[in-house]
Structure 1
């Protein structure tokens, strides 16, 4: 696959799956727009990407939850590159707790980032993607269809995102825009540290989760990035409205 002359915007690109995807696509000569809230991390990932193929990404420090920032992201992308080919809605947060021990603050935070921000940024990107006959990849999770009691708001936000993917795929198909999602299982990223797990707790969590997975291995970030790259490529030109699971078999149990 070669993404030479393809402009790809990735949210949540300063760490985790977003950073892994940026690095993977940089090696395929993509013209990247990296969006994140952590400016120092974002610059570090941008520099790493630039060293890959000598193509300097456009790094935009912004919060996708802020409407003016979302507008600025799209405007700066088009001003810089003149177009947009691929939108990767990756930015996301997790909030722990079920219906008995959660809060509306947790619900609002999770739904705002994981669903509202995706809705808004996609809306803003569509006119430009219509011009390029581009595509959208939403980063979801297997928790969208696999119930658990640990993170209710997160789970339902990803269920909403999966249905959003299908509905928007149907709406935008006549415009030549494809819309798909990737649904990873457990990937060891900073997301778990962000909810307060220390290194010992994280190690125990990882051992427990991986031990219960049929393939007995955590999903690697670059594996998810490779799936995103495939869905963004012409090799997937007949695929739209699909949710691609990559979870080491976790959803089988």
Structure 2
């Protein structure tokens, strides 16, 4: 197992891509720190991870709040004494557009988690990642490279574009210290993201029609990309990259 003895911190791990990533890291022998705001969901993922991992840690925290983010990393180091992989996955969307007049409210809320939270966790984790020669994976989206299908998603698209460029900037700054930083950009994925963001359940078949492959991905596909294409030591030459897994969404 490729990650035996490694410590992996995953924000937004209570469902969707974050949850699938946590379970897959546990299967590969990692000690997994699962972070999120919904304790009931976190406990469910904890039980799944515990079937495979020696030790799984729940850290309930809202990473958009500075003190909670700081406490989350401190608890990780207190429990394990190291950190090898940081997965910045926490993210959501809030409806808002220019013409609706609520863009700033949407923008401030979305950027606080999707960008500022990831930037802050990166800063907090970096001293420990330097020691372990670890790496960071930012979970972005094809939304960062395209305009929104609905104007109410503008804040989400802007946040992912910002996260993409932060990935490149962080990769450059940390490269000399042996820390790699990369991103993954999923297209449509079957998760509860829409419900959590107040956008409704959505129609899987309808979303599939937006992609040339006529399909919506499952979370485990993105988890596998995170583990084996970016976080693994086999990816030691990859930094500053953004891996797209979108069923062809961006080429349509």
Match among 214, 218, 225 for residue 216 of structure 1: 214
User: Which range is displaced more, 212-221 or 95-104?
Assistant: 95-104
Question: Quick one: distance in 1 between partners of 2:200 and 2:10?
Answer: 28
How many residues get paired? 248
In the TM superposition, what is the alpha-carbon distance from 1:56 to its structure 2 partner?
2.6
Question: Quick one: distance in 2 between partners of 1:127 and 1:180?
Answer: 18
Q: TM-score, normalised by structure 2?
A: 0.95
- 1:225 and 2:223 are equivalent in the alignment: yes
Question: Quick one: distance in 2 between partners of 1:36 and 1:7?
Answer: 17
Residues 48-197 of structure 1 correspond to what in structure 2 (within 5 A)?
48-51=48-51, 53-101=52-100, 102-148=102-148, 149-197=151-199
- Secondary structure at the counterpart of residue 91 of structure 2: coil
- Check conservation: 1:47, 1:56, Cα contact below 8 A: no
Question: Quick one: distance in 2 between partners of 1:228 and 1:49?
Answer: 17
Question: Quick one: distance in 2 between partners of 1:45 and 1:214?
Answer: 33
* Structure 1 unmatched ranges of 5 or more: none
In the TM superposition, what is the alpha-carbon distance from 1:97 to its structure 2 partner?
3.3
Deviations 1:177-230 (A, max 9, x none): 00000000001211111233445xx22xx2222023111110110000000102
- Secondary structure at the counterpart of residue 35 of structure 2: strand
- Secondary structure at the counterpart of residue 245 of structure 1: strand
RMSD, matched Cα = 1.2
* Structure 2 unmatched ranges of 5 or more: none
Question: Quick one: distance in 1 between partners of 2:38 and 2:19?
Answer: 12
- Check conservation: 1:65, 1:117, Cα contact below 8 A: yes
Question: Quick one: distance in 2 between partners of 1:246 and 1:198?
Answer: 23
- Secondary structure at the counterpart of residue 8 of structure 1: strand
- Secondary structure at the counterpart of residue 32 of structure 1: strand
- 1:234 and 2:233 are equivalent in the alignment: yes
* 4+ long deviations beyond 4 Å: none
